[in-house]
Amino acid sequence: MRKLLPLALLTLTACAPKTDTETQPTQEINYNVDRFADIEVLRYAVPGFEDLSLEQKQLIYYLTEAAISGRDIIWDQNCSYNLPIRDMLEAVYTNYSDDKESEEWKAFEKYLKQVEFANGIHHHYSMDKFKPEFSQEFLANQVSKLPADLKPANAEELYSVIFDPTVLPKRVNQADGVDLISTSACNLYGGGITQKEVEDYYAGIKNPKDETPVSYGLNSRLVKNPDGSISEEVYKIDGLYGDKISRIVDNLKKASEFAENATQKSVIDKLIEFYTTGSLKAFDDYSIAWVGDTDSRIDFINGFIESYGDPLGMTGSFESIVNFKDLGASHRTEVVAGNAQWFEDNSPVDPNFRKPEVKGVTAKVITAAILAGDAYPATPIGINLPNANWIRAAHGSKSVTIENITKAYDEAAKGNGFAEEFVIDDSTRSLMEKYGFMTDNLHTDLHECLGHASGRLMPGVDPDALKAHGSTLEEARADLFALYYLADPKLLELGLLDNPEAYKAEYYKYMLNGLMTQLMRIEPGKDVEEAHMRNRQLISAWALEKGKADNVAELVKRDGKTYLQINDYEALRGLFGQLLSEIQRIKSTGDYEAGRKLVEAYAVKVDPELHKEVLDRYATLNIAPYKGFVNPVYTKITDADGNVTDITVDYTEEYLPQVLRYSQQY
């Protein structure tokens, strides 16, 4: 599971904890790289890389190569037309010799940047297909001038996918009451298979009595054959995406030679086995080994991990993040994780649904060295893995906060005017300035290392019982756990906060975001779709409504503008606890109907008037609602005999040059 950036970070650096003990990069870094459509591309620093040993640097080097090698997998998973369209667009872009001041060219360049950012033709967050602002004639004319070997054979078909708004309009459809497979453009199912056929297939191979089930469908494309039978095309070295996977494996083998210890080596070797055999049992073995590796400084994820890209939440999108532990900042999360049992025992959840023994919850703050696949360019700020419930219960999970990424967001957001426009008054603003960054980091820690790890399913409850609403409710559960405990005196006792009022900064920001400011990410007339956004609106709208009688919080009008006013923070905490208890009950008992009702009632619909107001006010600030990152470039330095003497890191590559280079080299 992943934690995404809650909103364009406020300017909250006044009292940010200084946690970095590592060497800052010596190069001057330009954090703001590119700005187009609703996107800003940033750059992140990798403090501490220079201090690593040559072996560690080489380990990172080969893991980053393995990461980027899977790039085309996510493109193809997102939509079967993505790669041929990318080839065509990039060929036109690099061969263009006409007027670069023309409106059509500028629109074309913008579209290319959007597609590169989303790893395909659908928006990475809204899942809607991009609307090109150049004409089909312009593109066709440019394609006609391409050298013969660069001309696509099926250009007409590609044009209709790009320009016809009725063709493949949505990557992942979550709308209630329609066939989610046939209405989603993603390429995880094929041959005209229906949702019912997919569900029947997995119901047929799942054993409800199996207490250690593999993650069915995680690494395969399910297809209906011409004779009507159903089969899985497995992602493996001699299967689907075999050429990419074999390059990943080659680099993993080289990385394995530089493993820091035997445990880490066995993690890498088990991942190689998974990629070689495609066996989901091998993936579980790898996951268990990975959870057990808590001593290595360097860590990575590489594989088919999160299932947000699948309307049925089964198949994992290719993703990789290579990282190393930020030793100074990790102290904070170690304190949180070290007290996991106390938090579990004191939660407002029905004791039957709590975990009697919370095992192996580890948490650390990491420095990302590379982002790849589904985590590039848009990336999460925290991760909690593995996703398999029984592995989490029996072996624990690893939870990380990626603090060089949150720092880059914070750097880029300085002075953007957001707080002045949306926060109700000076006193709230100054509380947020003082404690916002700190409580936001803590919220991430609590969400990832306690929230997702807490609670248990009742015996016999299918972990997928909440179906299409599972992700939203799971994120809500983790967020509520974090919100509830942010206000707990325990955090002061543990030395994680120094002011009993500090939590109010995060409460205000969370409610403001869930009720109003996240709407800036949605087009007028559209519903809330994405699981994290649904979860935030669910929590905020539910608390607002349930607290109405006691005037806990309200939306007030001042000079024609809507503001959130929180009147009783303590009562708000009580409401968060109440909802946490209910959502844990829903998850523990697999109460699909109650979960569906909560989501449908609070998480989906948008007040069109308030939505318009937020968009209008937000537009005056000119802040990009979505952000992502270019990667640093690592280079091997060798001596005259070919021995590697160093790995250098460079922060100068720009956005389009980077993605175009990736397309060429990987």
In the complex, what is the shortest distance from the CB of residue 521 to Zn ion, in angstroms, rounded to a whole number?
A: 18
Largest CA distance in the chain: 78
Q: What is the dihedral of CA 467, 186, 537, 403, to 10 degrees?
A: 110
Q: How far apart are the first and last CA of the chain?
A: 27
3-class state of residue 520 by DSSP: helix
Nearer to Zn ion, 195 or 535 (CB): 535
Kindly write out the interface string for residues 449-488 of this chain, putting x where it contacts Zn ion by CB under 5 A and - elsewhere.
--------------------------x--x----------
In the complex, what is the shortest distance from the CB of residue 451 to Zn ion, in angstroms, rounded to a whole number?
A: 7
Strand partners, 554: 565
Of residues 535, 517, 368, 361, the one with CA closest to residue 450 = 361
Per CB under 5 A, 446 contacts Zn ion: no
Kindly write out the interface string for residues 98-137 of this chain, putting x where it contacts Zn ion by CB under 5 A and - elsewhere.
----------------------------------------
In the complex, what is the shortest distance from the CB of residue 532 to Zn ion, in angstroms, rounded to a whole number?
A: 7
Distance in angstroms (rounded) separating the CA atoms of residues 533 and 603: 8
Q: For 623, how many CA atoms within 13 A lie in the half-sphere containing its CB?
A: 26
Count the residues of the shown chain that bind Zn ion, applying the rule CB under 5 A: 4
- The position carrying tokens 């999108």 is 317
Quote the tokens at residue 651: 């922060």
In the complex, what is the shortest distance from the CB of residue 452 to Zn ion, in angstroms, rounded to a whole number?
A: 6
Nearer to Zn ion, 3 or 434 (CB): 3
In the complex, what is the shortest distance from the CB of residue 260 to Zn ion, in angstroms, rounded to a whole number?
A: 28
Nearer to Zn ion, 287 or 562 (CB): 287
Query: Looking at 1, 45, 337, 543, which residue binds Zn ion (CB under 5 A)?
Result: 1
Q: How many CB atoms lie within 10 A of CB 216?
A: 17
In the complex, what is the shortest distance from the CB of residue 201 to Zn ion, in angstroms, rounded to a whole number?
A: 28
Nearer to Zn ion, 1 or 623 (CB): 1
Kindly write out the interface string for residues 2-31 of this chain, putting x where it contacts Zn ion by CB under 5 A and - elsewhere.
-x----------------------------
Residues 265-304, interacting with Zn ion (CB under 5 A)? none
Nearer to Zn ion, 453 or 566 (CB): 453
Q: What's the residue count for the chain?
A: 666
Nearer to Zn ion, 115 or 480 (CB): 480
Residues 364-423, interacting with Zn ion (CB under 5 A)? none
Nearer to Zn ion, 132 or 382 (CB): 382
For residue 462, with 0-12 CB atoms within 10 Å meaning exposed, 13-18 middle and 19 or more buried, which class applies? middle
In the complex, what is the shortest distance from the CB of residue 617 to Zn ion, in angstroms, rounded to a whole number?
A: 29
In the complex, what is the shortest distance from the CB of residue 586 to Zn ion, in angstroms, rounded to a whole number?
A: 16
Residues 535-574, interacting with Zn ion (CB under 5 A)? none
Q: Which of the ranges 1-9, 74-82, 153-161, 500-508 carries the binding residues for Zn ion, by CB under 5 A?
A: 1-9
For residue 295, with 0-12 CB atoms within 10 Å meaning exposed, 13-18 middle and 19 or more buried, which class applies? exposed
State the DSSP code for 240. Answer: B
Nearer to Zn ion, 89 or 340 (CB): 340
User: By Cβ distance, which residue is nearest to Zn ion?
Assistant: 1
In the complex, what is the shortest distance from the CB of residue 382 to Zn ion, in angstroms, rounded to a whole number?
A: 7
Nearer to Zn ion, 504 or 536 (CB): 536
Strand residues in 328-440 grouped as ranges (E): 361-373, 382-385, 397-402
Nearer to Zn ion, 34 or 310 (CB): 310
Distance in angstroms (rounded) separating the CA atoms of residues 239 and 245: 9
CB 3 within 8 A of CB 383: yes
Of residues 235, 234, 240, 230, the one with CA closest to residue 199 = 230
* DSSP per-residue codes, 178-198: S-TTTT---SSEETT--HHHH
Residue 300 amino acid letter: F
In the complex, what is the shortest distance from the CB of residue 513 to Zn ion, in angstroms, rounded to a whole number?
A: 15
CA 466 to chain centre: 20
Point out which residues bind Zn ion (CB under 5 A): 1, 3, 475, 478
